[in-house]
Structure 1
Amino acid sequence: MNYFEYTELSASERLSVFMDSLSLTNRTPEYYVNWQKVIRETRKFELELNTLNYLIGKDNIYEETLRLFSQQPNLIKAVPSLIACRDKKFEVLSIDDFDNMEFYQIDFKHIDTSNIKKYVDFSDEAGLLDFLKNEAKLSLVDFVYGVETGLDSNGRKNRSGTTMEGLIERNVEKVATKLNLKHNPQASARWILDNWGIHVPVDKSERRFDEAVYDPEKNKLWLIETNYYGGGGSKLKAVAGEFTTLNDFISTAKDDVTFVWVTDGQGWHTAHLPLAEAFDHIDNIFNLEMLKQEFFLDLFK
């Protein structure tokens, strides 16, 4: 099915075609680990970690750590990396043998050199000293590479959206070059007005569109938003409502402005009703399969 056949269908028919062609995933091989970030975060403390290798296997680990930290307080800044934490300032609850509770703060960015023992005690109670004494075998730099690789998995959800933005940008770039159109990723309504002279009514003054495509000959503008949902959840309903509202705002523009929503993912099977409502308002809702069928080329023509 091409773009023109798709747009001639009713809203419910377009929804059916859309749902039947949802992709299984948008995860490229690069999705799994951002190696540049892993390397960057590890190298921040490479010198300190190499120095801390001295503590591996030490029997009197507490005393050795206290002596080393006292001599080189800068080494303390590497402790959060060793316990898989990106925070530099911790709020800590301490509980003694009698269940007495105490709250305290410990700052690994601005080291309190007057109380080095506090950092050693924290490292001990966090299990780090026992690990260094009894379990650590390899270089701590290699260990932190592994830690950072694990921490990087927290960024995968954001990378899913970034992947979609990259796919949209590449598709737009290809078609814009062929049709002699202008485009700009992350364009704001203000930028569009200042550069292309088109006023875009928006629901949020700070909104930036994932892509804005402009035909200077026709003085026509397309605004594109994109996302991907591999799983369900309440957010899908909220997003469908948000883009329905955004489309209604944009449709009031005095200039020729069209809203386009590119979304995909099996998560939409859990939010059929709000998506159906969006289809009643938004004419151009596409998925990745439709981009593959060059819907953008026909749309921008």
Structure 2
Amino acid sequence: MKLNDYTKLLSDERLNIFLSTLSVTNRTPEYYVNWDKVERETKRFELELHTLNYLIGKENIYDEALDLFSKQPGLLQAIPSLIASRDKVLDILSINEQDEMTFDQLNFSKIDILRIQDYVDFIHQAGLLEFLQNKANRSLVDYVYGVEAGLDSNARKNRSGTTMEGLLERHVAKICQEYSLEFKPQATAPYIKENWGINVPVDKSERRFDVAVYSKEKNKLWLIETNYYGGGGSKLKAVAGEFTELSQFVATSSDNVEFVWVTDGQGWKTAHLPLSEAFGYITNVFNLYMLKQGYLFELFQ
């Protein structure tokens, strides 16, 4: 189906086509691990980790650790990485044999040299000393490299949106090169006004559009927002409402401005009603399949 045929359909018909062509994933191979970040985070404490190799296999490891950290307290800054924590200031709950609870805080960013034994006690109770004594059998740098790769998996949710932005930007760049159009990622209303002379009403002053495309020949602007939702949830209703309102704001411009929403993901199948309402206001709602079919090429042409 061509773009013109799609946009002439009733909103419910467009919605049904959209839902039936949703992708099962937007995960490129780069999605899984950001190796540059893993290497950067590992190198931050590479020297400290090499020094801490000294503790591997030590018999009287508690006393050895207490002596080492007393002489070189800065080594303690590497401990959060060894226990897979992004936090450098740790709040700690301790429960004794009488079930009495006490709360403490240890700062691994700014080491309190008067509390070295408290740090070592925590490391011992966290099981790290036992690991170093009996289970670690290779470089702690290599170990932390693996830890960082695991921690990086927590950033995958954010990368899903970044992946969509990257896919959209590359797609738009190809079209703009072919049709001699201008484009700007993360475009603001002031930037658009200053560079292209187009007035863009926005719902909030800090609004940044994922991609803005400008045709000097037509003096026309397309504003594109993109996201991806692999799973359902209440957030989808809010997202659909947000982009519906944004499209209405954009439509009030005195200039030739058109709003485009590129979204995808199986999660939208759980938000049929709010998405249906959005389709009633936004004509240009596309998924990745529609981009593959050339809808943006036709739209900008």
Secondary structure of the residue aligned to 1:218 is coil
How many Å apart are 1:97 and its aligned residue? Answer: 2.1
Q: Write the deviation string for residues 193-220 of structure 1: whole angstroms up to 9, x where unpaired.
A: 1211111111111110000001112111
Secondary structure of the residue aligned to 1:277 is helix
List structure 1 runs of 4+ shifted beyond 6 angstroms.
none
Mapping 1:62-81, distance limit 5 Å: 62-81=62-81
* 2:102 matches 1:102: yes
Tell me which residue corresponds to 2:118: 118
Q: CA RMSD in A?
A: 0.9
**How many residues were matched structurally?**
301
Output the TM-score relative to the length of structure 1.
0.98
Which segment is superposed worse, 98-107 or 72-81? 98-107
Mapping 1:82-161, distance limit 5 Å: 82-161=82-161
* 2:199 matches 1:199: yes
* Cα distance in structure 2, aligned partners of 1:98 and 1:190: 63
Which segment is superposed worse, 212-221 or 77-86? 212-221
* Cα distance in structure 2, aligned partners of 1:240 and 1:254: 25
Tell me which residue corresponds to 1:54: 54
Secondary structure of the residue aligned to 1:36 is helix
- Identity rate of aligned residues, in percent? 66
How many Å apart are 1:133 and its aligned residue? Answer: 1.1
Tell me which residue corresponds to 1:30: 30
Q: Letter of the 1:200 partner, please give it.
A: V
* 2:236 matches 1:233: no
How many Å apart are 1:114 and its aligned residue? Answer: 2.0
For structure 1, list consecutive stretches of 5 or more residues without a partner in the other structure.
none
* Cα distance in structure 2, aligned partners of 1:213 and 1:48: 49
Q: Write the deviation string for residues 65-103 of structure 1: whole angstroms up to 9, x where unpaired.
A: 000001111110000000000111111112222222221
* 2:247 matches 1:247: yes
* Cα distance in structure 1, aligned partners of 2:241 and 2:73: 53
Q: Letter of the 2:111 partner, please give it.
A: I
Q: Write the deviation string for residues 243-273 of structure 1: whole angstroms up to 9, x where unpaired.
A: 0010111111111111100000111110111
* Cα distance in structure 2, aligned partners of 1:211 and 1:82: 40
Output the TM-score relative to the length of structure 2.
0.98
Tell me which residue corresponds to 2:264: 264
For structure 2, list consecutive stretches of 5 or more residues without a partner in the other structure.
none
Q: Write the deviation string for residues 156-203 of structure 1: whole angstroms up to 9, x where unpaired.
A: 011111110001001110111111111000011111112111111111
